[in-house]
Amino acid sequence: MRDDSKKWDAPGAPTTLEMSDGLTITPVQLARQTLLSGVDVLGRTQHPIAAWSGVVTAQTYALSLRRDRVLLVNGPALADGWHGDIAQAVSDVSDCYSVFDIRGDRAFSVLKRGAELRLDVPSKSVARLLFGLGVFLYRFEATDTFRVHVFRGQAETFFKSLKFAFPSL
Amino acid sequence: MTSHRTDRAGLIDRTQPRNFTFDGKAYRGFEGDTLASALLANGVRVMGRSFKYHRPRGPWGAWVDDPNAIMTVTLDGRSFPNCPAATTPLVEDMQARAVNAWPSAAFDIKAGLDLFHRWLGAGFYYKTFMWPDWHLFEPMIRKMAGLGDISRDAPKNYTADQVHDHCEVLVIGGGAAGLACARAAAEAGRGVVLVDDHPIFGGGLHQSVQIEDRTPSEWIADQLAAIMGAGGRVLPTTTAFGVYDHGLVGLAEYGAFGTAPHLHRMRADRIVLATGALDRPVTFAGNDRPGVMAVDAACEYLARYGVLVGRRIALASNNSLADAAEAMLTQAGAKITRISPQDGAIRALGGKQLKGLAQGLRRHEVDTVLASGGLTPLVHLWRHAGGKLDWCAARQAFLPGAAPDGMVAIGAANGTFDLDQALSEARAIGAGNASDAAARTYSLTPLWPEPGDKGRQWIDFQHDVTLKDVELAARENYVSVEHLKRYTTLGMASDQGKTSNMAGLAAMAAIQDRPLPEVGTTTFRPPFVPVPFEMYHGHHGKQLWHPLKRLALEPQHRAAGAALGEYGGWLRPGWYGTGNRGDLIRREVLSARNAAGIFDASPLGKIEVMGPDAEDFVNFIYYNTIRTLKPGNIRYGFMLTEGGIVMDDGVIARLTENRFVISCSSGHVDSVREHLEAWRQDGNNPDRIFIHDLTQQWSTVTITGPKARDILAKLPLGLDLSAQAFPHMTVQETQREETPIRIARVSFTGDISYEISIRSSRASDLWDKVVAAGEPHGATPIGIEALSILRAEKGYIMVGKDTDGETMPHDLGITIPRLKKKPAYIGDRSLHSDKANLPDRKALVGLAVGDGDKVLPTGAHIVDGTLSRSLGYVTSSYDSPTLGHPVALGLLENGSARTGEIVSVWHMGETRQATVCAACFFDPEGERLHA
């Protein structure tokens, strides 16, 4: 096996990246991310549900991932494991996903470098393949702000992909 | 003014001259020229050489249908091979050189090959280079093959942008029909995108004097303004090079020369094909001479570039469109002689310079021959999408037939060659209405190659396929068009059948005396025109080419001097420190055996299975019985495919009654997760089983070695770590500073080990504390290379390395579940098949070598005494620092019954001896494991 250390940039501490045209990529620190799975978990959640391509304005909300799974953002602390009383599996995934906000008039153009996205076609799930990476993508607080949850181990790749996509605009 | 440039016509900007060279000689053209038009304007006709015979070639077409003028173009020190001169825009200071010619296209040293053409017919290389050995000829053939040479230096900043896009209606082709259709669709409120590969829209319209009472330029500008005014988008210099599934169209948008085209992955609800039609060549003797050109090409060179390709022109056409061409060229000052090729065989006269045209005894003194054997609709994209073709006897052409979903053809691409009809059809389709079939004025007399005609008659100009080659292929029974194509190379490379296909098919039909539609067409595949690889490549380069997952602890590893490499899709430490790699790894192994090794095991799977049916589910997933596992305990097990093959091994921990954690191999996490999800929904109740992949939520630091317990004890975890309270294969959960910590006593080295898992954001703190606690004991970080040796010493396998695509669990010595497990599990039935019970199955063994012997090579074959058959192979082999001698694992036929047997191990011509032994070299009693 070779020593490929120099072929890979050392990961840097996440910082806001300000690009031209007012486009910014900002790492987001969420209080908590909790994965909930169960029958009709979507219908049973008390929090606003984020789906594509609506704009989430609440600070606590549930990302609709699939019919039996949501990602609760900034929700209350829940014990990991099977909750028989509510028939839901609960896992804290706060460290599983890195989160970025991509903001600016050109934000959607940048994202379209990585996936076939259409604002006019709604979807109940925010799960997407973006730049080849499985992510959760939705609009947060404003129509020109897109929030992305990406696996922690792939955050570096995602950030690089965004930086690569932007100069091509 | 140059000899072939007219005073007025054309769309070029005559106020902006452009200087360039071709084969070392300086020329001048204008902004808006292509390389081909500028050279023609300068009187240059020989722009290339054919592939096989190195015959001189001039342009046949004026755009993508020209197979002849192919050049290597250098600009600003960067070279781009295989640029079609007819589509390459002229840029100041361009240096062009013909490919496949040296020193120049006009004088090519290999032109003498043409003298040997009788011996170089189709497939000659299959027959000629058989003796004594093909490899003798191969280097020379390879050197001669191909067209332009690729530069060894990758051009800098040559990067393709790639974007996904969508539209309601994509109109491909910006000629009259395309423009009219796009306008009608846009004005009907549809989201329209109109693309055309020319920089200036209009297609062949520029050849017209007027259209709907306006000049072509005015009419085109009106259409474009209306399209954009209605919200449509127009993309000039954009080629639709392929149509893929579900309405996906690949669009290559070209910018300045020397920049990579942009790739648009356009998803269209509806695709309108307005790609036009091409003149097909007439097959006659010497029809490949420079100066023989398509009728439409001559009109395009005049209309777009102001180039009159000849002064004395023979016009050999079989169709009614020749009248307009004659009028246009006569108006520009050419003397036209009409020839009816169907009245008798014609023959081009001259060599590099065309001297005339003969028909029977009559000789015409002309400098140019314009030929058209009828129009061939451009249906490549139609066929990409799976559309059918129907033969039209009246037009003597294949036309779009049964349409693929969401696609429609209009205009000349649909066989509607008359302008008024095409406009009417386009507007109807654009507005979403049905098109009325109107009267047709286009007419032609069938004109196809006639087998047996004298002289060398070219079917494929680029690859030197002649009528005689097609006849030869037919004699040798390559009568299917697909076989014909491959045997003769007809329609290959950049031509892709645009000019050569119909003539080749017609020749084969005539030879076999079959109707042409019965012969059929070859398969059209993307790309329609050559596009740079870079366009497909886009941002997937360097670190974004197969990007690796990154560890939360990477900064700590880098600070410790780790050598990082790819292991199972992650960038992980192979070893630590600088110096001799072998020495460093050896030191790590000894540190782990004598004190402790500290290892980042974060990529190990941490997939949780929860729910009321979780127990039954994992019992079904695993080969081993999991149902009896008590909370707080861990069990080693295999996951099998339905075929009974080992797909993963690892441990499973039961945290509570309804909660399990599967710790699969690092490189198998994604596939195991998908395996679990698939089986959850198939044969199980998905409402009672839920799977969460938490691999990246948790990071894991492993302490392994005799001092592991002492080191762990220094962390204030509040746990009783004694062997009685915390035995091997158990798990405990605790908290530190409100952070949950999970500690599994499980080992992949054969020594006492603890895997400490913590949420990833706190992993660095844990790592630092463990390293600090281990330092007084002599513990050091260890990488994967050391771990691989440690596990091999103990005989622990790596699935995929020590197993292959046939390995079943009993081949690895785990036999009891196969014999006794009652509940169903994945792979059960396959483990009882005849094949599973064969006595000579390859089984895991250890291989020992004599004192002082070298390490056995991994992959070396274990062979029988006569070296005639492989009995197995070495899967893992290392020089064990712990034991002071090599250790090896292998798969060997009937291996479990061969213990003590001496076997031959063969590798790269060398044969050595090894003794079959148990696959465990270190602590076989497990005292250290359970300490």
- Retrieve residue B227's tokens: 């399209």
Contact in structure between B641 and B795 (CB atoms under 8 Å):
no
pLDDT digits (tens, 9 = 90+) for B736-767: 888 999 999 999 999 999 999 999 999 999 99
Measured between beta carbons, which residues in chain B are less than 8 angstroms from residue A157? Answer: 543-544, 547, 550
| Beta-sheet strand order (sheet of B597-600) | B730-736, B739-745, B753-759, B698-704, B597-600, B780-781
Contact in structure between B791 and B798 (CB atoms under 8 Å):
yes
For range A152-158, the mean pLDDT: 96
Contact in structure between A99 and A27 (CB atoms under 8 Å):
yes
In this complex, which of B539, B614, B659 lies closest to A164 when CB atoms are compared? B539
For range A133-145, the mean pLDDT: 97
Please indicate, yes or no, if residue B634 is contained in any of the structural domains.
Answer: yes
Cβ density class B590-605: b for 16+ within 10 Å, e for less: bbbbebbbbbbbbbbb
Of B217, B298, B356, B365, nearest to B4 (Cα)? Answer: B298
**Same structural domain, B713 and B774:** yes
pLDDT of residue B140: 87
The amino acid at residue B286 is: G
Confidence of residue B439 (pLDDT cuts 50, 70, 90): low
Measured between beta carbons, which residues in chain B are less than 8 angstroms from residue A92? Answer: 697, 759
Q: Which of B544, B557, B690, B858 to mutate to test the interface with A (most CBs of A within 10 A)?
A: B690
User: CB–CB of A81 and B659 under 8 A?
Assistant: yes
**Same structural domain, B383 and B252:** yes
Q: Which of A92, A96, A110 to mutate to test the interface with B (most CBs of B within 10 A)?
A: A96
H helices present in B513-643, as ranges:
516-519, 533-537, 554-559, 581-594, 614-621
In this complex, which of B165, B574, B696 lies closest to A153 when CB atoms are compared? B696
Q: How far is A43 from chain B (nearest CA, A)?
A: 15
Q: Which of B537, B553, B554, B564 to mutate to test the interface with A (most CBs of A within 10 A)?
A: B564
pLDDT of residue B1: 43
**Is 60 exceeded by the pLDDT of residue A169?**
no
Could you tell me which residues come within 8 angstroms of residue B519 by beta carbon, excluding any fewer than 6 positions away?
Answer: B481, B505, B508, B509, B512
> What is the spatial distance between Cα B684 and Cα B682, in angstroms, rounded to a whole number?
6
User: CB–CB of B554 and A10 under 8 A?
Assistant: yes
Size of interface A-B (CB pairs under 8 A): 141
Measured between beta carbons, which residues in chain A are less than 8 angstroms from residue B574? Answer: 1, 3
pLDDT of residue B153: 82
CA angle B545, B550, B552 (to 5 degrees): 165
User: CB–CB of A35 and B612 under 8 A?
Assistant: no
**Is 80 exceeded by the pLDDT of residue B865?**
no
DSSP label at residue A100: E
Please indicate, yes or no, if residue B89 is contained in any of the structural domains.
Answer: no
**Same structural domain, B680 and B828:** no
Of B505, B24, B422, B456, nearest to B184 (Cα)? Answer: B422
User: CB–CB of B539 and A92 under 8 A?
Assistant: no
pLDDT digits (tens, 9 = 90+) for B371-407: 999 999 999 999 999 999 999 999 999 999 999 999 9
Measured between beta carbons, which residues in chain B are less than 8 angstroms from residue A67? Answer: none
User: CB–CB of A80 and B162 under 8 A?
Assistant: no
Q: How many Cα atoms sit within 13 Å of B779 on the Cβ side?
A: 27
- Retrieve residue A104's tokens: 């600016």
Interface pTM (ipTM) of the complex?
0.97
Dihedral sign from CA coordinates of B505, B509, B512, B515: positive
Measured between beta carbons, which residues in chain A are less than 8 angstroms from residue B697? Answer: 91-96
In this structure, the strands spanning B780-781 and B56-57 are: unpaired
In chain A, the residue whose alpha carbon lies closest to the alpha carbon of B784 is A1
For range B866-891, the mean pLDDT: 94
For range B430-451, the mean pLDDT: 86
Cis previous bond, B103, omega within 30: yes
User: CB–CB of B550 and A68 under 8 A?
Assistant: no
User: CB–CB of B562 and A5 under 8 A?
Assistant: yes
- Retrieve residue B564's tokens: 């990082």
Cβ density class B326-360: b for 16+ within 10 Å, e for less: bebbeebebebbebebeeebbbbbeebebebbbbe
**Same structural domain, B559 and B418:** no
Q: How far is B554 from chain A (nearest CA, A)?
A: 8
Q: What radius of gyration, in Å, describes the C-alpha atoms of chain A?
A: 17
Please indicate, yes or no, if residue B243 is contained in any of the structural domains.
Answer: yes
**Same structural domain, B908 and B813:** yes
Please indicate, yes or no, if residue B299 is contained in any of the structural domains.
Answer: no
Q: What radius of gyration, in Å, describes the C-alpha atoms of chain B?
A: 37
For range B209-225, the mean pLDDT: 97
In chain A, the residue whose alpha carbon lies closest to the alpha carbon of B265 is A116
Measured between beta carbons, which residues in chain A are less than 8 angstroms from residue B655? Answer: 81
Backbone angles phi, psi at B299, to 5 degrees: -70, -40
Measured between beta carbons, which residues in chain B are less than 8 angstroms from residue A169? Answer: 161
pLDDT of residue B723: 95
**Same structural domain, B719 and B774:** yes
Strand partners, B597: B704, B780
- Retrieve residue B803's tokens: 């197993």
> What is the spatial distance between Cα A38 and Cα A44, in angstroms, rounded to a whole number?
9
Of B646, B674, B693, which residue is a domain's last? B693
User: CB–CB of B761 and A94 under 8 A?
Assistant: yes
Q: How far is B273 from chain A (nearest CA, A)?
A: 23
H helices present in B605-752, as ranges:
614-621, 669-680, 708-713
> What is the spatial distance between Cα B769 and Cα B775, in angstroms, rounded to a whole number?
10
Confidence of residue B438 (pLDDT cuts 50, 70, 90): low
Measured between beta carbons, which residues in chain B are less than 8 angstroms from residue A96? Answer: 694, 696-697, 760
Please indicate, yes or no, if residue B99 is contained in any of the structural domains.
Answer: no
Q: How many domains does chain B have?
A: 5
In this structure, the strands spanning B262-273 and B549-550 are: unpaired
**Same structural domain, B389 and B241:** yes
Of B630, B658, B693, which residue is a domain's last? B693
- Retrieve residue B24's tokens: 């070392």
User: CB–CB of B161 and A168 under 8 A?
Assistant: yes
In chain B, the residue whose alpha carbon lies closest to the alpha carbon of A86 is B611
Q: What is chain B's percent helix, strand, coil content, to nearest 5? A: 25, 30, 45
> What is the spatial distance between Cα B298 and Cα B332, in angstroms, rounded to a whole number?
11
User: CB–CB of A11 and B164 under 8 A?
Assistant: no
In chain B, the residue whose alpha carbon lies closest to the alpha carbon of A133 is B547
Q: Where do the DSSP E strands lie in B588-729?
A: 597-600, 607-610, 634-640, 646-656, 659-663, 690-693, 698-704
Looking at every residue in chain B, the average pLDDT score rounds to: 95
Q: How far is A52 from chain B (nearest CA, A)?
A: 17
Measured between beta carbons, which residues in chain A are less than 8 angstroms from residue B265? Answer: 116
B4 vs B130, which has greater pLDDT? B4
Backbone angles phi, psi at B820, to 5 degrees: -125, -20
Q: Which of A3, A36, A42, A44 to mutate to test the interface with B (most CBs of B within 10 A)?
A: A3
> What is the spatial distance between Cα B574 and Cα B583, in angstroms, rounded to a whole number?
13
Please indicate, yes or no, if residue B743 is contained in any of the structural domains.
Answer: yes
For every residue of B782-797, DSSP letters joined together read --HHHHHHHHHHHT--
**Same structural domain, B739 and B816:** no
The amino acid at residue B222 is: D
Q: Where do the DSSP E strands lie in B373-423?
A: 375-377, 389-392, 397-400, 407-409
- Retrieve residue B184's tokens: 């009608």
Contact in structure between A8 and B543 (CB atoms under 8 Å):
yes
* CATH, residue B194: 3.50.50.60
In this complex, which of B163, B697, B784 lies closest to A113 when CB atoms are compared? B163
Measured between beta carbons, which residues in chain A are less than 8 angstroms from residue B262? Answer: 168
Could you tell me which residues come within 8 angstroms of residue B108 by beta carbon, excluding any fewer than 6 positions away?
Answer: B49, B54, B56, B101, B102
pLDDT of residue B321: 94
**Same structural domain, B455 and B588:** no
**Is 60 exceeded by the pLDDT of residue B54?**
yes
Could you tell me which residues come within 8 angstroms of residue B893 by beta carbon, excluding any fewer than 6 positions away?
Answer: B840, B841, B842, B843, B871, B872
In chain B, the residue whose alpha carbon lies closest to the alpha carbon of A37 is B690
Q: How far is B696 from chain A (nearest CA, A)?
A: 5
Please indicate, yes or no, if residue B413 is contained in any of the structural domains.
Answer: yes
**Same structural domain, B267 and B182:** yes
The amino acid at residue B778 is: G
* CATH, residue B476: 1.10.10.1100
Contact in structure between A36 and A72 (CB atoms under 8 Å):
yes
Range of weakest confidence among B42-46, B271-275, B452-456, B896-900: B452-456
* CATH, residue B899: 2.40.30.110
**Same structural domain, B598 and B622:** no
Residue-number span of the structural domain to which B678 is assigned? 607-693
Dihedral sign from CA coordinates of B759, B761, B765, B770: positive
Q: How far is B573 from chain A (nearest CA, A)?
A: 9
Q: How many Cα atoms sit within 13 Å of B916 on the Cβ side?
A: 23
Measured between beta carbons, which residues in chain B are less than 8 angstroms from residue A93? Answer: 692, 694, 697
**Same structural domain, B858 and B771:** no
Question: Checking phi first, is residue B53 left (phi over 0); if not, alpha (psi -120 to 50) or beta?
Answer: alpha
For range B401-426, the mean pLDDT: 95
User: CB–CB of B563 and A3 under 8 A?
Assistant: yes
Could you tell me which residues come within 8 angstroms of residue B387 by beta carbon, excluding any fewer than 6 positions away?
Answer: B379, B400, B401, B402, B403, B404, B407, B409
Could you tell me which residues come within 8 angstroms of residue A101 by beta carbon, excluding any fewer than 6 positions away?
Answer: A24, A25, A26, A28, A140, A145, A146, A147, A148
Dihedral sign from CA coordinates of B197, B155, A109, A158: positive
Confidence of residue B781 (pLDDT cuts 50, 70, 90): very high
Measured between beta carbons, which residues in chain B are less than 8 angstroms from residue A115? Answer: 164
In this structure, the strands spanning B94-98 and B13-22 are: parallel
Exposed/middle/buried for residue B650 (C-beta within 10 Å: 0-12, 13-18, 19+): buried
Confidence of residue B437 (pLDDT cuts 50, 70, 90): low
Cα–Cα distances in angstroms (integers) from residue B170 to residues B198, B222, B572, in the given order: 16, 19, 47
Q: Which of A2, A4, A6, A8 to mutate to test the interface with B (most CBs of B within 10 A)?
A: A8
Range of weakest confidence among B138-147, B165-174, B330-339: B138-147
User: CB–CB of B550 and A155 under 8 A?
Assistant: yes
**Is 50 exceeded by the pLDDT of residue B109?**
yes
Confidence of residue B2 (pLDDT cuts 50, 70, 90): low
Contact in structure between B482 and B488 (CB atoms under 8 Å):
no
In chain B, the residue whose alpha carbon lies closest to the alpha carbon of A9 is B543
**Is 60 exceeded by the pLDDT of residue A1?**
yes
User: CB–CB of B760 and A95 under 8 A?
Assistant: yes
pLDDT of residue B434: 84
In this complex, which of A38, A94, A113 lies closest to B690 when CB atoms are compared? A38
Residue A25 in 3-state DSSP?
strand
User: CB–CB of A93 and B550 under 8 A?
Assistant: no
Q: How many CB atoms lie within 10 A of CB A66?
A: 12
> What is the spatial distance between Cα A145 and Cα A103, in angstroms, rounded to a whole number?
4
Identify the structural domains of chain A with CATH numbers, from first to last. Answer: 18-168 (3.30.1360.120)
Of B476, B499, B519, which residue is a domain's last? B519
> What is the spatial distance between Cα A155 and Cα A149, in angstroms, rounded to a whole number?
9
Confidence of residue B117 (pLDDT cuts 50, 70, 90): very high
- Retrieve residue B438's tokens: 């109107």
In chain B, the residue whose alpha carbon lies closest to the alpha carbon of A88 is B611
Confidence of residue B783 (pLDDT cuts 50, 70, 90): very high
User: CB–CB of B694 and A93 under 8 A?
Assistant: yes
DSSP label at residue B403: P
pLDDT digits (tens, 9 = 90+) for B285-297: 999 999 999 999 9
Q: Give kind and range of the element (H or E) at residue A163.
A: helix A155-165
